[in-house]
């Protein structure tokens, strides 16, 4: 009996060791929101379980220090995204080819480290300011196998935070019911901004390297001069958030756009900024939708 008990104990120890070795690893991309207190509950839970944190720059370690703590930190620079999808051999300019090759190497090294760590049972969390689905770091998943254990945890992005800052919904604009989320034009792009402006719908511009004179020259050709414009800086940050308002016609003379915080502001354009939900179809076009969800429209006495 004693021998059997000892044998059983050894089996339990071995089973625990095997379970530890086979512990499932996973790669997460976590949206951190536009301010540290806008991370989601799910995001916090993932970071608590993470063994390794993946960042784009050292300053992020301090910005998110409350969530990172003493965890191991890796870096893959933001610029590593440049050239994704390009074959360096097809780039004729030697200087540009060198950049494409360097970035491709950085991306591959990061992906190899993620894969190795996850296969060893580690939890790796790549942190993304705002929402990773808006100009974020999803390229990691494009480079990893389709069945690789991974998950994206969405965050509160600039679209939501800037809309909240102006307290108006971009999808309501009297006679418009859509919003275009875009950024500055770049070579090779087909859906250039001026084409997107033709419907005069609501627009939200992510402003990385935005050419303001060009943008507003385009807007003036498609939107009335009195169309409202708002710039939201540090959206979602209770201490630093700032909203500046103008119009399509007056923006370049009223707003000192050159001093706006780089990569930390967003531009909103459209009637929704003033009109809100006072739509011409409020009681007609959406009547069937209201009845479908809430039943027959109640009458008042």
Q: Residue 278: its pLDDT value, please?
A: 75
Question: Which one-letter DSSP state was computed for residue 133?
Answer: T
Q: Residue 20: its pLDDT value, please?
A: 44
Q: Residue 23: its pLDDT value, please?
A: 63
Q: Residue 173: its pLDDT value, please?
A: 79
Specify whether the CB–CB gap between 248 and 144 falls below 8 A: no
What is the pTM assigned to this prediction? 0.82
Which CATH architecture fits 22-156? 3-Layer(aba) Sandwich (3.40)
Q: Residue 19: its pLDDT value, please?
A: 43
What are residue 33's DSSP bridge partners?
130
- Give the residue extent of every domain in the chain: 22-156, 159-275
Report strand pairing: 123-128 vs 26-31: parallel
Give CATH superfamily name and number for 159-275.
Tetrapyrrole methylase, C-terminal domain (3.30.950.10)
The three-class DSSP label of residue 257 is helix
Domains 22-156 and 159-275 share a fold: no
E strands, 135-213, are: 150-153, 179-182, 202-206
Specify whether the CB–CB gap between 230 and 245 falls below 8 A: yes
In sequence order, which residues have a C-beta less than 8 Å from that of residue 71 and are 6 or more positions away? 50, 51, 52, 53
Q: Residue 18: its pLDDT value, please?
A: 46
Q: Residue 284: its pLDDT value, please?
A: 59
**Among 261, 35, 201, which residue's Cα sits nearest to residue 131?**
35
In which element (H, E) is residue 12 found?
Answer: helix 2-21
Question: Which one-letter DSSP state was computed for residue 98?
Answer: H
Rounded to whole angstroms, the Cα distance separating 16 from 115 reads: 24
Q: What is the pLDDT along the chain (301 residues), one digit of tens a residue?
A: 555 556 555 555 555 444 444 568 999 999 999 999 999 999 999 999 999 999 999 999 999 999 999 999 999 998 888 888 888 888 899 999 999 999 999 999 999 999 999 999 999 999 999 999 998 889 999 999 999 999 999 999 999 999 999 999 998 877 888 999 999 998 889 999 999 999 999 999 999 999 999 999 999 999 999 999 999 999 999 999 999 999 999 999 999 999 999 999 999 999 999 988 776 655 555 666 667 777 665 555 5
Q: Residue 288: its pLDDT value, please?
A: 67
Rounded to whole angstroms, the Cα distance separating 141 from 122 reads: 17
**Among 59, 49, 44, 57, which residue's Cα sits nearest to residue 27?**
49
């Amino acid at each position: 009996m004693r021998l059997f008990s000892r044998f059983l104990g050894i089996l339990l120890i071995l089973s625990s060791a095997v379970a530890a070795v086979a512990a499932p690893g996973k790669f997460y991309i976590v949206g951190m929101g536009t301010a540290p207190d806008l991370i989601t509950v799910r995001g916090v839970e993932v970071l608590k379980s993470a063994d390794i944190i993946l960042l784009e720059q050292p300053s992020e370690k301090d910005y998110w220090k409350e969530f990172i703590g003493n965890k191991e930190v890796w870096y893959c620079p933001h610029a590593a995204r440049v050239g994704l999808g390009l074959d360096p051999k097809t780039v004729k300019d030697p200087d540009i080819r060198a950049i494409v090759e360097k970035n491709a190497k950085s991306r591959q090294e990061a992906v190899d480290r993620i894969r190795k760590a996850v296969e060893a049972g580690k939890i790796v969390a790549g942190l993304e300011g705002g929402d990773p689905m808006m100009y974020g770091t999803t390229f990691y998943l494009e480079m990893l196998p389709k069945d690789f254990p991974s998950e994206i945890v969405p965050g509160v992005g600039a679209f939501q935070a800037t809309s909240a800052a102006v307290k108006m919904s971009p999808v309501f604009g009297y006679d418009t019911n859509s919003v275009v989320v875009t950024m500055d034009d770049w070579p090779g792009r087909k859906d250039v901004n001026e084409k997107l402006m033709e419907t005069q719908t609501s627009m939200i511009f992510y402003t990385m390297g935005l050419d303001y004179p060009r943008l507003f020259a385009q807007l003036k050709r498609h939107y009335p001069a009195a169309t409202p414009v708002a710039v939201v800086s540090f959206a979602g940050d209770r201490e630093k958030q700032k909203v500046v308002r103008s119009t399509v016609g007056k923006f370049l003379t009223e707003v000192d756009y050159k001093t706006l915080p780089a990569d930390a502001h967003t531009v909103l354009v459209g009637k929704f900024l003033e009109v809100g939900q006072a739509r011409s179809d409020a009681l007609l076009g959406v009547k069937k939708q209201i009845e479908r969800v809430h039943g027959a429209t109640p009458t008042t006495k």
